[in-house]
Structure 1
Amino acid sequence: MNTPASSLPDLSRLRGVVAAEILAAAEVASLMLREAGVPHALAGGLAVGAYGYPRTTDDVDFLVGDEAFVRHAGNLITLKVPLIAVGNVRIDMVPIGSSPEEKEQLRPAIESAPESERIPIVPLTALVYMKLKASRQKDLADLVELLKRGRIDIDGIDRYLEQHAPAYRRQWARVKEMAAKEE
Protein backbone atom coordinates (compact mmCIF):
# COMPACT_ATOMS: atom_id res chain seq x y z
CA MET A 1 0.00 0.00 0.00
CA ASN A 2 1.41 3.38 -0.98
CA THR A 3 1.41 6.11 1.62
CA PRO A 4 0.15 9.48 0.36
CA ALA A 5 2.95 12.05 0.29
CA SER A 6 0.93 14.36 2.53
CA SER A 7 1.02 11.77 5.33
CA LEU A 8 4.78 11.25 5.18
CA PRO A 9 6.92 13.14 7.68
CA ASP A 10 8.52 16.30 6.32
CA LEU A 11 11.05 18.25 8.37
CA SER A 12 10.56 21.32 6.17
CA ARG A 13 7.28 21.86 8.07
CA LEU A 14 9.43 22.84 11.07
CA ARG A 15 11.34 25.65 9.40
CA GLY A 16 10.35 29.02 10.79
CA VAL A 17 8.83 27.41 13.89
CA VAL A 18 11.71 25.45 15.39
CA ALA A 19 15.06 27.15 15.94
CA ALA A 20 17.64 26.37 13.25
CA GLU A 21 20.13 25.11 15.85
CA ILE A 22 17.61 22.45 16.99
CA LEU A 23 17.21 21.16 13.43
CA ALA A 24 20.97 21.24 12.89
CA ALA A 25 21.49 19.30 16.12
CA ALA A 26 19.05 16.63 14.93
CA GLU A 27 20.98 16.30 11.69
CA VAL A 28 24.39 16.03 13.41
CA ALA A 29 23.13 13.55 16.01
CA SER A 30 21.41 11.37 13.41
CA LEU A 31 24.57 11.26 11.31
CA MET A 32 26.64 10.23 14.34
CA LEU A 33 24.17 7.47 15.25
CA ARG A 34 24.04 6.26 11.64
CA GLU A 35 27.84 6.15 11.38
CA ALA A 36 28.00 4.15 14.64
CA GLY A 37 25.48 1.62 13.31
CA VAL A 38 22.80 2.56 15.84
CA PRO A 39 19.26 2.11 14.53
CA HIS A 40 17.32 5.23 15.45
CA ALA A 41 14.39 7.43 14.53
CA LEU A 42 13.47 10.97 15.43
CA ALA A 43 10.64 11.07 17.99
CA GLY A 44 9.05 13.61 20.33
CA GLY A 45 8.12 17.15 19.38
CA LEU A 46 10.19 17.23 16.20
CA ALA A 47 8.45 14.10 14.90
CA VAL A 48 5.06 15.61 15.74
CA GLY A 49 6.03 18.68 13.73
CA ALA A 50 7.26 16.61 10.80
CA TYR A 51 3.83 14.97 10.66
CA GLY A 52 2.00 18.27 10.55
CA TYR A 53 1.83 20.03 13.91
CA PRO A 54 5.03 22.06 14.11
CA ARG A 55 5.65 23.47 17.56
CA THR A 56 8.64 24.75 19.45
CA THR A 57 10.84 22.36 21.37
CA ASP A 58 14.18 22.72 23.08
CA ASP A 59 15.58 19.22 22.65
CA VAL A 60 15.96 16.40 20.15
CA ASP A 61 14.54 12.96 20.99
CA PHE A 62 15.63 9.78 19.23
CA LEU A 63 14.10 6.36 19.73
CA VAL A 64 17.10 4.01 19.72
CA GLY A 65 17.70 0.28 19.68
CA ASP A 66 19.78 -1.73 22.13
CA GLU A 67 22.72 -1.09 19.81
CA ALA A 68 22.95 2.41 21.33
CA PHE A 69 24.18 0.95 24.61
CA VAL A 70 27.26 -0.94 25.74
CA ARG A 71 26.88 -3.41 28.60
CA HIS A 72 29.86 -3.81 30.94
CA ALA A 73 30.64 -6.03 33.91
CA GLY A 74 28.79 -5.16 37.09
CA ASN A 75 25.58 -4.20 35.24
CA LEU A 76 27.15 -0.94 34.04
CA ILE A 77 25.58 0.41 30.87
CA THR A 78 27.08 3.24 28.85
CA LEU A 79 26.21 4.94 25.58
CA LYS A 80 27.93 3.63 22.44
CA VAL A 81 27.84 7.17 21.09
CA PRO A 82 28.52 9.48 24.07
CA LEU A 83 26.22 12.17 22.77
CA ILE A 84 24.60 14.46 25.33
CA ALA A 85 24.23 17.71 23.40
CA VAL A 86 25.08 19.43 20.16
CA GLY A 87 25.99 22.96 21.15
CA ASN A 88 23.33 23.97 23.66
CA VAL A 89 20.75 21.50 22.32
CA ARG A 90 20.11 18.46 24.51
CA ILE A 91 19.95 15.10 22.72
CA ASP A 92 17.77 12.49 24.44
CA MET A 93 18.05 8.85 23.49
CA VAL A 94 14.86 6.98 24.32
CA PRO A 95 15.49 3.24 24.56
CA ILE A 96 12.96 0.69 23.41
CA GLY A 97 11.61 -0.96 26.56
CA SER A 98 12.50 -4.53 27.39
CA SER A 99 8.95 -5.91 27.39
CA PRO A 100 7.95 -8.07 24.42
CA GLU A 101 5.05 -5.68 23.68
CA GLU A 102 7.37 -2.69 23.60
CA LYS A 103 9.82 -4.45 21.31
CA GLU A 104 7.00 -5.58 19.02
CA GLN A 105 5.65 -2.02 18.75
CA LEU A 106 8.85 -0.03 18.49
CA ARG A 107 11.64 -2.14 16.99
CA PRO A 108 10.11 -1.90 13.49
CA ALA A 109 9.88 1.87 14.00
CA ILE A 110 13.67 2.16 13.95
CA GLU A 111 14.34 -0.57 11.39
CA SER A 112 12.09 0.76 8.63
CA ALA A 113 11.45 4.38 9.54
CA PRO A 114 10.48 6.86 6.83
CA GLU A 115 13.09 9.56 6.26
CA SER A 116 13.05 13.28 5.69
CA GLU A 117 16.28 15.08 4.86
CA ARG A 118 18.20 11.83 5.58
CA ILE A 119 16.87 11.69 9.15
CA PRO A 120 14.74 8.65 10.03
CA ILE A 121 11.48 9.59 11.76
CA VAL A 122 9.27 7.21 13.72
CA PRO A 123 6.25 6.05 11.72
CA LEU A 124 3.01 7.72 12.72
CA THR A 125 1.65 4.53 14.32
CA ALA A 126 4.70 4.35 16.59
CA LEU A 127 4.46 8.06 17.40
CA VAL A 128 0.81 7.69 18.43
CA TYR A 129 1.70 4.62 20.52
CA MET A 130 4.57 6.47 22.24
CA LYS A 131 2.42 9.54 22.94
CA LEU A 132 -0.43 7.44 24.38
CA LYS A 133 2.03 5.47 26.50
CA ALA A 134 3.70 8.62 27.85
CA SER A 135 0.25 10.05 28.57
CA ARG A 136 1.50 13.48 29.66
CA GLN A 137 -0.76 16.43 28.93
CA LYS A 138 1.54 17.75 26.19
CA ASP A 139 1.72 14.31 24.55
CA LEU A 140 -2.05 13.99 24.40
CA ALA A 141 -2.30 17.62 23.21
CA ASP A 142 0.08 16.77 20.35
CA LEU A 143 -2.26 13.97 19.26
CA VAL A 144 -5.31 16.24 19.54
CA GLU A 145 -3.62 18.83 17.33
CA LEU A 146 -2.60 16.24 14.72
CA LEU A 147 -6.18 14.96 14.68
CA LYS A 148 -7.63 18.46 14.30
CA ARG A 149 -5.35 19.07 11.33
CA GLY A 150 -6.44 15.81 9.67
CA ARG A 151 -2.91 14.36 9.87
CA ILE A 152 -3.88 11.02 11.43
CA ASP A 153 -5.66 8.20 9.63
CA ILE A 154 -8.14 7.52 12.43
CA ASP A 155 -9.35 4.19 11.06
CA GLY A 156 -5.76 3.07 10.55
CA ILE A 157 -4.80 3.93 14.13
CA ASP A 158 -7.99 2.30 15.44
CA ARG A 159 -7.02 -0.94 13.63
CA TYR A 160 -3.39 -0.67 14.74
CA LEU A 161 -4.33 -0.28 18.41
CA GLU A 162 -6.94 -3.04 18.19
CA GLN A 163 -4.35 -5.47 16.83
CA HIS A 164 -1.16 -4.38 18.57
CA ALA A 165 -1.88 -2.27 21.66
CA PRO A 166 -5.47 -2.76 22.86
CA ALA A 167 -4.61 -1.39 26.31
CA TYR A 168 -4.45 2.11 24.76
CA ARG A 169 -7.80 2.04 22.91
CA ARG A 170 -9.73 3.75 25.71
CA GLN A 171 -7.18 6.53 26.00
CA TRP A 172 -7.20 6.94 22.20
CA ALA A 173 -11.01 7.26 22.31
CA ARG A 174 -10.64 10.12 24.84
CA VAL A 175 -8.09 11.86 22.62
CA LYS A 176 -10.47 11.61 19.65
CA GLU A 177 -13.29 13.04 21.79
CA MET A 178 -11.10 15.98 22.87
CA ALA A 179 -10.19 16.71 19.25
CA ALA A 180 -13.84 16.56 18.16
CA LYS A 181 -14.86 19.02 20.90
CA GLU A 182 -12.19 21.50 19.83
CA GLU A 183 -13.06 21.46 16.12
Structure 2
Amino acid sequence: MPLEKSLKGVCKALREIKEEGLVKGFALIGGLSVSTWGYPRATNDVDLLVGLASIERLDAFSSALERRGFKTDIRSGGLADPVPYLIRTSRDDVPVDIIIATKNWEHEACEQAVTVSLDGADIPVAPVEYIIVMKLRAGSPRDLADVSELLKTSELRTGFLKGLAKRLRVDRKLEGMKKG
Protein backbone atom coordinates (compact mmCIF):
# COMPACT_ATOMS: atom_id res chain seq x y z
CA MET A 1 0.00 0.00 0.00
CA PRO A 2 1.57 3.34 -1.04
CA LEU A 3 0.42 5.16 2.10
CA GLU A 4 2.12 2.68 4.43
CA LYS A 5 5.27 2.61 2.29
CA SER A 6 5.40 6.39 2.35
CA LEU A 7 4.88 6.53 6.12
CA LYS A 8 7.64 4.01 6.73
CA GLY A 9 10.02 5.90 4.42
CA VAL A 10 9.39 9.25 6.10
CA CYS A 11 9.77 7.76 9.58
CA LYS A 12 13.06 6.14 8.56
CA ALA A 13 14.35 9.52 7.36
CA LEU A 14 13.18 11.24 10.55
CA ARG A 15 14.93 8.64 12.73
CA GLU A 16 18.16 9.24 10.81
CA ILE A 17 17.79 13.02 11.18
CA LYS A 18 17.07 12.53 14.89
CA GLU A 19 20.39 10.70 15.21
CA GLU A 20 22.05 13.79 13.70
CA GLY A 21 20.58 15.85 16.54
CA LEU A 22 18.23 18.04 14.49
CA VAL A 23 15.04 16.34 15.70
CA LYS A 24 14.06 15.72 19.33
CA GLY A 25 11.00 13.63 18.55
CA PHE A 26 8.16 13.05 16.12
CA ALA A 27 4.73 11.46 16.02
CA LEU A 28 2.09 10.45 13.53
CA ILE A 29 -1.02 12.64 13.71
CA GLY A 30 -3.98 13.17 11.35
CA GLY A 31 -6.16 10.55 9.69
CA LEU A 32 -3.67 7.69 9.95
CA SER A 33 -3.33 8.25 13.70
CA VAL A 34 -7.11 8.13 14.06
CA SER A 35 -7.06 4.73 12.36
CA THR A 36 -4.31 3.59 14.71
CA TRP A 37 -6.46 4.49 17.72
CA GLY A 38 -9.36 2.30 16.65
CA TYR A 39 -11.45 4.27 14.16
CA PRO A 40 -10.50 3.20 10.64
CA ARG A 41 -11.04 5.98 8.17
CA ALA A 42 -9.86 6.83 4.70
CA THR A 43 -7.07 9.31 4.16
CA ASN A 44 -4.74 10.03 1.28
CA ASP A 45 -1.87 11.73 3.10
CA VAL A 46 0.58 11.38 5.96
CA ASP A 47 0.61 13.98 8.74
CA LEU A 48 3.48 14.14 11.21
CA LEU A 49 4.28 16.41 14.13
CA VAL A 50 8.03 17.00 14.50
CA GLY A 51 9.82 18.56 17.44
CA LEU A 52 13.08 20.14 16.33
CA ALA A 53 16.05 20.53 18.66
CA SER A 54 15.72 24.26 17.89
CA ILE A 55 13.35 26.16 15.61
CA GLU A 56 16.42 28.01 14.33
CA ARG A 57 17.40 24.69 12.70
CA LEU A 58 14.32 24.60 10.44
CA ASP A 59 16.35 25.22 7.28
CA ALA A 60 18.92 22.59 8.30
CA PHE A 61 16.08 20.13 8.92
CA SER A 62 14.61 20.87 5.50
CA SER A 63 18.04 20.35 3.92
CA ALA A 64 18.42 17.03 5.76
CA LEU A 65 15.12 15.90 4.25
CA GLU A 66 16.23 17.03 0.79
CA ARG A 67 19.49 15.06 1.11
CA ARG A 68 17.28 12.00 1.59
CA GLY A 69 15.35 12.62 -1.61
CA PHE A 70 12.46 14.73 -0.32
CA LYS A 71 11.59 17.93 -2.16
CA THR A 72 10.45 20.35 0.53
CA ASP A 73 8.24 23.42 0.60
CA ILE A 74 8.44 25.36 3.88
CA ARG A 75 5.35 27.38 4.74
CA SER A 76 5.60 29.92 7.55
CA GLY A 77 2.50 31.42 9.06
CA GLY A 78 4.03 33.08 12.11
CA LEU A 79 3.71 32.11 15.76
CA ALA A 80 0.10 33.36 16.06
CA ASP A 81 -0.94 30.96 13.28
CA PRO A 82 -2.33 27.59 14.50
CA VAL A 83 0.34 25.95 12.31
CA PRO A 84 3.29 28.39 12.34
CA TYR A 85 5.64 26.13 10.38
CA LEU A 86 4.69 23.42 7.91
CA ILE A 87 6.86 21.48 5.51
CA ARG A 88 5.02 20.01 2.54
CA THR A 89 6.66 17.14 0.75
CA SER A 90 5.73 13.77 -0.70
CA ARG A 91 7.01 10.22 -0.72
CA ASP A 92 6.06 7.67 -3.38
CA ASP A 93 3.45 10.16 -4.73
CA VAL A 94 1.80 10.39 -1.30
CA PRO A 95 1.46 13.92 0.14
CA VAL A 96 3.26 14.37 3.47
CA ASP A 97 2.64 17.31 5.81
CA ILE A 98 5.24 17.83 8.52
CA ILE A 99 3.98 20.21 11.18
CA ILE A 100 6.80 21.68 13.23
CA ALA A 101 6.08 21.68 16.97
CA THR A 102 6.33 25.17 18.45
CA LYS A 103 4.27 24.81 21.63
CA ASN A 104 5.15 22.86 24.78
CA TRP A 105 2.13 20.59 24.45
CA GLU A 106 3.11 19.72 20.86
CA HIS A 107 6.58 18.71 22.04
CA GLU A 108 4.92 16.65 24.79
CA ALA A 109 2.84 14.82 22.16
CA CYS A 110 6.07 13.86 20.38
CA GLU A 111 7.85 12.86 23.60
CA GLN A 112 4.92 10.72 24.76
CA ALA A 113 4.36 9.04 21.38
CA VAL A 114 3.31 5.41 21.50
CA THR A 115 5.24 3.09 19.20
CA VAL A 116 3.21 0.80 16.97
CA SER A 117 4.57 -1.76 14.54
CA LEU A 118 3.64 -1.48 10.87
CA ASP A 119 4.97 -4.32 8.74
CA GLY A 120 8.07 -4.55 10.91
CA ALA A 121 8.65 -0.78 11.13
CA ASP A 122 8.25 1.10 14.40
CA ILE A 123 5.98 4.12 13.97
CA PRO A 124 5.57 6.67 16.80
CA VAL A 125 1.94 7.77 17.13
CA ALA A 126 0.77 10.73 19.21
CA PRO A 127 -1.26 9.63 22.24
CA VAL A 128 -4.99 9.57 21.54
CA GLU A 129 -5.66 12.36 24.04
CA TYR A 130 -3.38 14.70 22.08
CA ILE A 131 -5.04 13.68 18.81
CA ILE A 132 -8.43 14.54 20.31
CA VAL A 133 -7.37 18.01 21.48
CA MET A 134 -5.61 18.73 18.17
CA LYS A 135 -8.79 17.88 16.33
CA LEU A 136 -10.93 19.92 18.72
CA ARG A 137 -8.63 22.89 18.10
CA ALA A 138 -8.85 22.42 14.32
CA GLY A 139 -12.63 22.12 14.52
CA SER A 140 -13.53 21.06 10.96
CA PRO A 141 -16.54 18.76 10.49
CA ARG A 142 -14.14 15.90 9.65
CA ASP A 143 -12.06 16.61 12.78
CA LEU A 144 -15.13 16.70 15.01
CA ALA A 145 -16.42 13.43 13.49
CA ASP A 146 -13.02 11.89 14.30
CA VAL A 147 -13.26 13.14 17.89
CA SER A 148 -16.75 11.69 18.25
CA GLU A 149 -15.52 8.27 17.12
CA LEU A 150 -12.31 8.39 19.16
CA LEU A 151 -14.30 9.17 22.30
CA LYS A 152 -16.36 6.00 21.65
CA THR A 153 -13.66 3.60 20.55
CA SER A 154 -10.45 4.45 22.38
CA GLU A 155 -9.32 3.64 25.87
CA LEU A 156 -8.75 7.12 27.23
CA ARG A 157 -6.94 8.52 30.22
CA THR A 158 -10.04 10.54 31.08
CA GLY A 159 -8.48 12.74 33.77
CA PHE A 160 -5.48 13.47 31.57
CA LEU A 161 -7.71 14.31 28.60
CA LYS A 162 -9.83 16.69 30.69
CA GLY A 163 -6.72 18.44 32.04
CA LEU A 164 -5.13 18.72 28.60
CA ALA A 165 -8.37 20.03 27.07
CA LYS A 166 -8.68 22.63 29.82
CA ARG A 167 -5.04 23.66 29.40
CA LEU A 168 -5.59 24.16 25.66
CA ARG A 169 -8.96 25.85 26.15
CA VAL A 170 -11.04 23.25 24.33
CA ASP A 171 -12.64 21.77 27.46
CA ARG A 172 -16.09 23.17 26.61
CA LYS A 173 -15.90 21.69 23.11
CA LEU A 174 -14.87 18.36 24.64
CA GLU A 175 -17.78 18.38 27.09
CA GLY A 176 -20.15 19.27 24.25
CA MET A 177 -18.84 16.34 22.21
CA LYS A 178 -19.33 13.95 25.13
CA LYS A 179 -22.94 15.08 25.59
CA GLY A 180 -23.73 15.02 21.87
Q: Quickly name the TM-score band, shorter chain normalised.
A: 0.7 to 0.9
My pick for the range that moved more, 115-124 or 60-69, is: 60-69
3-state secondary structure, aligned to 2:149: helix
Per-residue CA shift, 1:110-145, capped at 9, x if unaligned? Answer: 123110011100011211121111111111110101
Mapped partners of 1:157, 1:57: distance in 2: 25
Q: Are the equivalent residues in 2 in contact too, given 1:41–1:110 (CA < 8 A)?
A: yes
**What residue is the counterpart of 1:175 in the other structure?**
177
Matched residue, 2:4: 23
One-letter amino acid of the counterpart of residue 65, structure 1:
G
Aligned to 2:116: 116
Q: Give the letter aligned to residue 114 of structure 2.
A: P
Q: Choose the corresponding residue for 1:81, options 58, 65, 68.
A: 65
Is 2:135 the counterpart of 1:131? yes
Contact 2:26 2:50 in 1 (8 A): yes
Structure with the largest fraction of strand: 2
Q: Once the 2 structures are TM-superposed, how far is the Cα of residue 156 of structure 1 from its aligned partner?
A: 3.9
Distance 2:114 2:154 in 1: 19
Q: How does 1:134-173 map to 2 (within 5 A)?
A: 134-162=138-166, 164-165=167-168, 167-173=169-175
After the TM superposition, which residues 54-73 of structure 1 pair with which residues of structure 2 at under 5 Å, given as runs? 54-67=40-53, 70-71=57-58
Q: Which has the higher helix share?
A: 1
Give me the TM-score of the superposition, normalised by structure 1: 0.72
- Give the superposition deviation at 1:173: 1.5
Query: Which residue is equivalent to 1:90?
Result: 95
Deviations 1:18-70 (A, max 9, x none): xx211111111001101111321000000011000011100000001134963
2:42 alignment partner, SS class:
coil
Pick closer, same or farther for the CA change 1:44–1:68 going to 2, 3 Å.
farther
- Residue 35 of structure 2 is matched in structure 1 by 49
* 1:150/1:32 CA distance change after superposition, 3 Å: closer
Q: Give the stretch that moved more between structures: 76-85 or 121-130.
A: 76-85
Report the Cα offset of residue 176 of structure 1.
1.4
Give the alignment's TM-score, normalised by structure 2: 0.73
Structure 2, unmatched stretches of 5+, are: 71-88
